[in-house]
Structures are given as structure tokens and as C-alpha cells.
Amino acid sequence: MSDAIVVTATVRVPPSAVTVQAVRASGPGGQNVNKVATKIDLRVDLGAVEGLSDTARARLQVLARHRLDAAGQLMMTSQATRNQARNLEDARVKVADLIRAALSPPRRRVKTAPTAGADRRRLAGKKRRSDVKRRRERPADDD
């Protein structure tokens, strides 16, 4: 069984929540790609992640929503290298990064208003465009 994935001092994924499967990778690699299973499919039971608050767990569900399988497990794959061990480490780092991203709450958007100068420039541009279009009109008949 593999080691726990340590995210922070208090947050970790226990080894029992991680399932690792090696499969054949796609792409270049010559005969190596046909005979060696170097791609890693790592599945993590998100419910078993230790040390997450309820809000962080909800953010993690949202961040991982496109990577969940039918059983609700996070699926992370890696075929970046031709080495199975390095791909396993890469997949574990990706899981830790995703969980770390869920730990920090999103920054609140600060509403801003355009400056007075920006307003003047916008209105001046609209006025110029209006004048151009007005000059294209057919002259009115004054009878």
C-alpha cells in the first residue's frame, strides 16, 4: 500500500483512501508504450480526506466535479513521463495541489466604478461615432 498524501500539517489523504492502477499510456514511446504500463490512474475517496472543514470539503467537491467517477471518487491520471514511479509521484502531487486549492477561500470581489476620466472618454467616443453616423444620412428635403 502507498503512503499517505500529506497536504498540510493537518490535512492528509490516508493510504486506505487511495487506489493506484498502472495502465498502458497513449502517445509516443515506441515499443516501450506497447509493453510497459507507465500511465497511472489514481483514485481518491474524497470523503476519507482527513482534516478538511465542511466549507473546504464543499469547495473541493466543486473543484473536482469534472474528475469524479460514478462512485464519487476523484480520478487523477498522469502519463507525463515514461517512468511509472515518476508518474505516480506526479499524480499524488496533483491531488495534493487540488486539495490545497480547496483549503483557501476564494477572494471576495471588490466592486469598482469607472473613473471620471474613463467616463468622459467613453462618452466622447460615443459622440464621435454618433456624429459619423449622422453625417451619413441623406440630407432632409426642405420644401
DSSP 8-state class, residue 44: E
In this prediction, residues 127-136 reach a mean pLDDT of 94
pLDDT 10s digits, 65-89: 999 988 889 999 998 888 889 999 9
pTM as predicted: 0.72
Give the residue extent of every domain in the chain.
5-103
In this prediction, residues 45-49 reach a mean pLDDT of 89
Question: b/e for 98-136, b at 16 or more Cβ within 10 A?
Answer: bbeebbeeeeeeeeeeeeeeeeeeeeeeeeeeeeeeeee
**pLDDT score, position 143:** 62
Q: Please provide the size of the chain in residues.
A: 143
Domain 5-103 falls under CATH 2.60.40.650: no
The better pLDDT of the pair 16, 27 is held by 16
